[in-house]
Amino acid sequence: MADPYSEKALHFFNQYQKLAFEDVHQHWLAQLPESPGSALDVGAGSGRDAAALASRGWHVLAAEPATALRQLGENAARHLAVEWCEDHLPELSHVRTLDHRFDLILVSAVWMHLPPSQRNTAFQVLTDLLSPGGILVITLRHGPGDGERVFYETNRDELERLAESQSLASLPVAEGKETDRMGRSEVAWETAVFQNP
C-alpha cells in the first residue's frame, strides 16, 4: 500500500512545522507536568511536538514509521534531546523492547489511522508504557478523509471506555470540538487526557 507520509514527506513536514506546538495543544497543556521527565511521541511526524517538549527539558523518544518524514524530523531536531526510532501502533514493538516507562505519552493526529479492531491492543500497549502517575494524551480527528490517507472514525466515548478498562483516570480538558488549525472547515479535533494511578 502506498504511504503518503513517505511519498510526500517534505509536504507534510512543512505543513506540520507551520503550526506552533502551543496552538495545537493548548487544550491540554495545563496538564503537562511541571517537572520534565521522559516522553514518548507516537507518530512524531515532523518532530514539531518532540522538539517543543525537548526544549522544555523533556527527554523524548520520537516514534515515526515513515522513513523520509522521520529523517526530516530527526535532522530538524538534531540539537535537542530527541531520540528517534521506526515504530508504530498498535504494537510499538521496538519501543517495548527498551523496557522503559514514560511520564508523558503523546498520540497526536494518529488515532484516526488505527482500525477500530486494533484500538484495544493499542491502548493496552500505551497503558503498559506509562509510568505511575504518567499521563497519556490522545487527539482525535473528526471529519471526512482527504482521498489519499486512510482515516477511521474516532469517538471520545470509545477512549473513555478503554481508559476505564485499564484503570486510567480521565483528566479535565477544554470540552467540545476544536477548530482545525489548518483552516479546514470540515475537520475538527478533540483531546482526551488520561493518567495512570
User: Checking DSSP bridges between strand 188-195 and strand 130-142, what pairing results, if any?
Assistant: antiparallel
Burial of residue 180 (number of CB atoms within 10 Å: 0-12, 13-18, 19+): middle
pTM of the model: 0.91
93 by Cβ neighbours in 10 Å (0-12 / 13-18 / 19+) ranks as exposed
Sequence-distant (6+) residues with CB within 8 A of 87 are 63, 64, 65, 93, 94, 95
Q: CATH fold of 35-195, please?
A: Rossmann fold (3.40.50)
User: What is the per-residue pLDDT for 1?
Assistant: 41
Helix (H), strand (E) at residue 3: none
DSSP string, 97-163: HT---EEEEEE-S-GGGS-HHHHHHHHHHHHHTEEEEEEEEEEEEES---SSS------HHHHHHHH
pLDDT value at residue 129: 98
pLDDT, tens digit only, all 197 positions of the chain:
457 777 777 777 777 778 889 988 988 999 998 899 999 999 999 999 999 999 999 999 999 999 999 999 999 888 899 999 999 999 999 999 999 999 999 999 899 999 999 999 999 999 999 999 999 999 998 877 666 778 899 999 999 999 999 999 999 886 667 776 665 666 788 999 999 99
Q: Rounded CA gap, 154 and 112, in Å?
A: 6
Nearest to 101 by CA among 130, 122, 132: 130
Q: At 179, phi and psi to the nearest 5? A: -65, 155
